[in-house]
Structure 1
């Protein structure tokens, strides 16, 4: 369908092929080649020739010399098809045995039927035809693969017999760590895991690894990898089972079982620090080609990695009692996973078949624990209800309470900018909260009050734990955003009044000026009355906002009064305007509402 679409677009719209249609036909040619190796029908080869032909025509329309590229590509696919077809026929003949007695028996037997007591499957050979040589390259290659598979399987059995000895050695290596209580905050120290990437390889007989490598090279690689990977996956399961760290599905009821959380932490550490690096080394020695080693390593590790990460992800995403798990459980698991991310990087980075495991670990780490809880809390607070006086939103209070409880111990959870991944996560939470607060500020019918609301909440976030959270994003981040909202507040509330104080030549009349004074007095009184009931909780910040209004309003107002004196003269006192001192007194009462003591 894609090719048909490309064809009509090319002919009707563009007039000639484009890169999309060329790549499309090349892809369909490769697909047809792959399909021909699995399907018995035979039409796939015709499709291969068809798409190769269309590809060459399209290339020739673009540039004549590109037909050379198309010819080379098509020739390569045909050669590859011939090779795969030969290998498939060879594989189909693996179980056929040619009995040297079949020729003589065919000459004796008139019906060409094998004797009843013959234990073999005979392939009759006509008397006038030359018999197939017993040492032909085809038969010899097939026989070698059969023997190699048989030997490889016997070596796999030897490898499995070595498991108990290897597991006992690993048990001795991590024995102290297994006995430690890794989730107890009161415990002073937990024994470190002594990693040894060559432990498994050194424990196995060297000739066994050589035999596996030699016989594996003589087999079909897919079959070889499958047999090897199945064996090693069973070893990993058996090892964790013997260590008492079986990975099970985590239920919500298990969150309170510290032994399960402890087992998860230990299983993560031992698997990623010891088992996986050893399997990586072993794969590299059994499969000399990096491609086959990477695929095999991915097949060995995927199932266990997915189980462990699913366990952690469940802990991160299920709803549970935050007050306990936020402080004791989740930070332990989070710290373990974050510490292991570099190991996931080194083991799986850049490998096509296993990099998804690395990405999965990073993703679960981002979701884990307190940060998921905080984001969930922020997004649950929909932007419908507003704080009446522009004060601090309950969500802001609760987020800061969460962070304060989690990060009480600054030694365990260093949250200075750039020191730890915890700092990055806290910064992300604060930015998510900022976005959510912006949405809430839009719900105020008076835009000016929405900006006061943002000023208060940003200042409260900056104050958190003696500016400790201000250090994460930097004081400049908060200062610029607060100043931005102060400016927006002035524009949305005092802009119209400033417009009243501007006088054109046509308004240089007593009546016009008297009308402007009355309008100014009315609007000024309304703003001062409304804004005096609003809140700015920090006295220093309140003084900054009031001072900014004074600096904007008073010079313009003073100029306006001077013009009235010049035009009206001694009758100017009849206009009943405010004096400069009166204006300052009224502005000093802005945002005078205080937070009620709870």
Structure 2
């Protein structure tokens, strides 16, 4: 019977396609040293099986493995075989650009690098799980055979061949999951999560035997940790919104940058269908969420809760404005923006029509608050007395009212011409609403004023605005810039 060393050397020689003599070793010595491994083009069709070795070589390996297993050297045979195949797998992944150097696990990737490395990793793990590992499984079965006596050696060989590369791939994903939970990392982590999720059926089949079970369990664990990381990012987003300080007021009551950032972020996030599955795995709703959404999906509840946190933050910021009317304009602008971003988007489908109606009503209430704070004093000044007063008393009272109107109207128009309304439709609605209340009241006042005895000779002195002038000044309201800071609308 051949010794183990002799048979193991034969196994290695046959797999490498050479005889085990010194002459060949000397010729191959140093071959390939210092050569850079070329990066291969990635295939898009994974429905392929690689025949890594010629049929004749596989038949020779089968005979050798059968002899070794029969001689009681099954583990040693698996070890010798798997070392060669492991190197092939690692080189194949390296050709795809994945080096498995562990940078992701220690946060060693910059933002720019991580996007590139994640893209390489996705291509590598797809090729590994869908092409390389199934091909290795097939090769192991052909080399060791399908008999009950060699099945364990085949399973052990497959595990040892795939162990290092599979763990490097999973460690990369785990490093992404355990990294920073800054909101801007969401989409990178979603890419990794989706890649693992899509491959789980293949992983569960490939690594189903007793030797490979730990690989399958690690893949499941990484998948769950990626989901936890994604949910954690939304918790961090909540904290960032809460901590955003109410410092300087946005000029003219325009859109606050945090409103644009959060709403564009949520729209982009909800465009990823996978996100709903991530939150379906976590059925505990945030504390204090609107009970009307209790029957909605966990993702809808999470989105509504974040916007509730945003609205609370905006209300705190609105208190910076000393003018209650400007505070209402600020809330109207930001509230209208939120509703517009939700409607006609995946967010609207998630939150439902009731949510949209409720928040549209809030915007209308801010509109009413603005009207009251800005124009009620002027409208009160234009109210006509029905008492039968003497002409002199009536004339004096009307002139005083007109003086108050002129002063207040001039001040409001001067101030509010610099205020901002981001939405053109809302801007027109406000102007129409102001004109609808003010113009009839002012017209009636002028008719009464001009009918007072002996008032005509003083009319030019007291009448500063015609009805047309008032209408033109109303049309000049809200000319300020509505968007503060930079970013997408």
Calculate the TM-score normalised by the size of structure 2.
Answer: 0.49
Larger Rg: 1
Instruction: Flag the structure with more relative contact order, 1 or 2, with Cα contacts below 8 A and sequence separation at least 6.
Output: 2
Taking structure 1 as the reference length, the TM-score comes to: 0.41
